[in-house]
A and B are shown apart, each in its own frame.
Chain A
Amino acid sequence: MQWESWSAFWNMGGAAYFVWGSYGVTFALMALELVLVLRRRKDTITRLLRWRRAVGKDSARGSAKEGGTPVPAMESET
């Protein structure tokens, strides 16, 4: 074991600011990214549900061209 006590561990040989500054920001950013990604999923689902109700289920199906066909070209070739 490298450390004599927990306070020595947190002190990092006097470099606490640099070491914990690095790790803190890194893990904060990763946590933030995770939250944003999970929230984006929730937002997408609520938005698309509302959109489907607004346009009606039948016309939502294959009405616009940009969504593409349900069976993609990759598979239909083989």
Chain B
Amino acid sequence: MNSPERSRSLFRFAAPHNFYPLAGRLAPWFATAALVLTVAGLWLGFFVAPTDATQGEVYRVIFIHVPAAWMSMFVYLVMAFWSAVGLVMNTRLSFIMSQALAPTGAMFCFVALWTGALWGKPTWGAYWVWDARLTSQLLLLFLYFGFIALTRAIEDPRRADRAGAIIALVGAVNVPIIYFSVQWWNTLHQGASVSLNKAPSMATTMLLGMLVMAIAAWMYTIAVVLWRARSMILERERHTEWVGAVLEREAQGGRA
């Protein structure tokens, strides 16, 4: 059995002083991938994908709207996952990851709402309708704000980590309930005034452009989160020798 050896090599990166240089090496690659994929996705979206038969050119907002909405939901789940790992395994890095994810998730959540509003105006005639999806997205943004505000308001990092983890998990349990309740409420109040569910038949190139943009959003998120986590690690580990060495190298203009 070589499993202890293997788990050791994998868990090695759960230690901040191993993770820090790894993140520094990986982040530029993810950022480059994000840039290349964004350019490719935009080219597919604007120059290859045909004009939509019913919506005209406005539908091209989809290439950021849908990836942003996916990311915002997925990032919250990943945040809750790292929070659970942190509470169960007591690893500091998990909490750092969940807190590094939150601002990017909130940003994508806002982007999904903003682009949804701008897409909604020409297609439904209003910037905002109290549709189930839009409303859930708005509540998700509030959940992000709550998490960020709570972790920032607590000065003791140990308490901030754990309190944030609890609220992330409580939120994750509530997200399906919120979605269900909002949908229920929506069918009672809105009736059939807005039918988002009638998915227009999408051309393959449209779908492809959307997927490429979604992967680009992934790469962007990973790069930004790794960079943000690096700063947080330095801050948290400032009493250790290895951070001292990193800082000395930075002070001499070297590369970490």
Interface residues on A, range: 35 or more
**CB neighbours of B65 from chain A (8 A):** 22
Q: B236 near A: Cβ within 8 Å?
A: yes
Please report which residues of chain A, range 3-59, place their CB below 8 angstroms from some CB of chain B when the two chains form the complex. 3, 9, 12-15, 17-19, 21-23, 25-26, 29-30, 33-34, 37-38, 40-41, 44-45, 48-49, 51-52, 57
Please report which residues of chain B, range 150-191, place their CB below 8 angstroms from some CB of chain A when the two chains form the complex. 156-158
Q: Are A15 and B239 in contact (CB under 8 A)?
A: no
Complex Cα–Cα for A66 and B238 (A): 10
**CB neighbours of B107 from chain A (8 A):** 29-30, 33
- Chosen A-B contacts, 16 in total, with CB atoms closer than 8 Å, are A2-B47, A2-B50, A15-B57, A18-B118, A18-B121, A19-B58, A22-B115, A48-B238, A48-B243, A52-B238, A60-B238, A60-B239, A61-B244, A67-B238, A73-B90, A78-B4
Q: Are A41 and B227 in contact (CB under 8 A)?
A: yes
What is the count of residue pairs linking A and B with beta-carbon distances less than 8 angstroms?
142
**CB neighbours of B92 from chain A (8 A):** 68, 72
Complex Cα–Cα for A41 and B23 (A): 13
Please report which residues of chain B, range 31-59, place their CB below 8 angstroms from some CB of chain A when the two chains form the complex. 46-51, 56-58
**Shortest Cβ-Cβ A-B pairs, 5 listed:** A67-B239, A13-B57, A22-B115, A15-B58, A12-B57
Q: Are A63 and B91 in contact (CB under 8 A)?
A: no
Complex Cα–Cα for A53 and B129 (A): 56
**CB neighbours of B243 from chain A (8 A):** 48
**CB neighbours of A72 from chain B (8 A):** 14-16, 91-92
Q: Which of B110, B114, B236 contacts A22 (CB 8 A)?
A: B114
Q: Is the interface of B mostly helix, strand, loop or mixed?
A: helix
**CB neighbours of B158 from chain A (8 A):** 66
B32 to chain A, nearest CB (A): 13
Q: Are B231 and A33 in contact (CB under 8 A)?
A: no
A63 to chain B, nearest CB (A): 6
For the A-B complex with A29-B111, A67-B240, A72-B16 known, give 13 more contacts whose Cβ atoms are closer than 8 Å.
Answer: A13-B56, A15-B57, A18-B119, A18-B121, A30-B107, A33-B104, A34-B224, A40-B231, A52-B244, A67-B236, A70-B242, A78-B4, A78-B8
B12 to chain A, nearest CB (A): 7
Complex Cα–Cα for A26 and B117 (A): 13
Q: B21 near A: Cβ within 8 Å?
A: no
B72 to chain A, nearest CB (A): 12
Q: Are A19 and B250 in contact (CB under 8 A)?
A: no
Q: Are A26 and B238 in contact (CB under 8 A)?
A: no
Q: Are A62 and B239 in contact (CB under 8 A)?
A: yes
**CB neighbours of A60 from chain B (8 A):** 238-239, 244
**CB neighbours of A67 from chain B (8 A):** 236-240
Complex Cα–Cα for A67 and B202 (A): 53
Q: Are A48 and B224 in contact (CB under 8 A)?
A: no
Q: Are A70 and B241 in contact (CB under 8 A)?
A: yes
**CB neighbours of A19 from chain B (8 A):** 57-58, 60-61, 118
